Amino acid sequence: MATFVAIYRGETIAGARLIALSADPTLVADVSARILQEHPGKDTDDPIIACVEQGRKHALRLITQESRDARA
């Protein structure tokens, strides 16, 4: 399964336009690893938000590893 990195630009999410798209495994691994480093997540007392955040981090870790493996 392919994973993609996209760059959008616009005033709002609904009005944003796709500028660039890549499935390059090196770029995907780099972007997903950087997101994990730059956005470590916040502690929350809300168990639903905590669960979503944990799942998001896990997915980014898997994407990073999968993309690194694809480069090898």
DSSP state of 13: T
**Torsion on CA atoms 12, 15, 20, 22, rounded to nearest 10:** 80
Residue 27: per-residue pLDDT:
96
At 63, phi and psi to the nearest 5? -65, -45
pLDDT of res. 45: 87
Query: pTM for the whole thing?
Result: 0.77
Ranges of residues in the chain with a pLDDT under 50 are none
The reported pLDDT for the residue numbered 18 is 98
Amino acid 41: pLDDT: 65
